[in-house]
Structure 1
Amino acid sequence: VIYPGWFEDPEQVRPVEGEYLAMKMGNADVRVLYPSIKKIWTVIGHSPLNERDRELCFHLDGGTLYDGDDSVRNATSDDYARFSPVLAAGPVVVQNLIRQARSTIPRID
């Protein structure tokens, strides 16, 4: 996810109130980025899921609704309207999305 503000120092990343930024990938608006499985990303931290974040764990893949890694059921038309599909992005796409998002949101000090 991309917070509704960006941080100059990765050591100071913290949860920020507000909706996560939605990004355009193809025809879909997504709030969660699924980078490719190559291990080229550095984890700079993590924060526990709050109630608002819990819904981010639900996603669609291959006609199935998942909660994290667990299959819930075959996706319904309501699920397609409510949850994002998994759209895997390579490192360049993710970097470009973050760069684009960062140019439109305020810096947090």
Structure 2
Amino acid sequence: MQIKTAACLANVLQFLIDHKGHRAGKLIQAHILRTNQFANTFLVNRLIELQSKCGHTAAARRLFDQMPLKNIFSYHAILDAYCKLNDLDNAYELFDQMPERNAVSWN
């Protein structure tokens, strides 16, 4: 049942990202925390992307910093937020901390 719930939440988050639904996203985030799904890196990456798209980069960074497991997509999500803000200092600092990089990272 957990997999179906995560897939459903991921779809809802993608809809909210596409429509910049920050308020509803906060409710989904609370649900993810309450139901102990914060270890689901995919869902938290989506939350980071939602916060970023809605202009809440500091909240996105807090989520990133609190993530128990980060992957390359986690780093890309927050790097994208910094680059869109032209915050190159934070982007460079985070890029330097990345444990792995690929072609997307360098672009």
Q: TM-score normalized by structure 1? A: 0.29
Higher normalized contact order (CA 8 Å, seq sep 6+, divided by chain length): 1
Q: Which of the two has greater strand per residue?
A: 1
Structure possessing the higher radius of gyration over alpha carbons: 1
